[in-house]
Amino acid sequence: MQDQLPTQLYTTIDSGTRNGTRAPFAVDVQRAERNDGHYDNSGIFLAQSYLRYQGEKFNARFDANCYLHILDKIDSHDIARVRYPSLSDDEAILSDLSQIRKPTLVVGVPTDGLYPPSEQIFLS
């Protein structure tokens, strides 16, 4: 594809310069040296390289299975479970919430799928 680009455009994309002057919106491309000592001319954008590096660091530090387990626990958490078998779910939650003696603030997000606005209003 690079062979099909006009020389001036290719120069701008490749080096970020045109006639020795840096183009205002030039994109820097990183050239990678291959194992055989040659350079890979396909190039990747510096931003791509940075994001790849940060992603690899994140994957090395955190285990995705741990996050899935935590998310499962958060999604299935129920403060009224097993505490009040004779009460309905709403009554059990109200009973638990009525024990809170400190001022609280309920902050809601209209697009929240886990706690829709109707439940946020109920909690407040």
Full-prediction pTM beyond 0.75?
Answer: no
98 compared with 38, residue with greater pLDDT: 98
For the chain, the domains span 2-56, 62-123
Average pLDDT over residues 69-88: 83
Q: Is residue 18 very low, low, confident or very high in pLDDT (cuts 50, 70, 90)?
A: low
84-110 pLDDT, tens digit per residue, is: 888 888 888 888 888 889 998 988 888
Report which residue type is found at 30: Q
Q: Are 108 and 115 in contact (CB under 8 A)?
A: yes
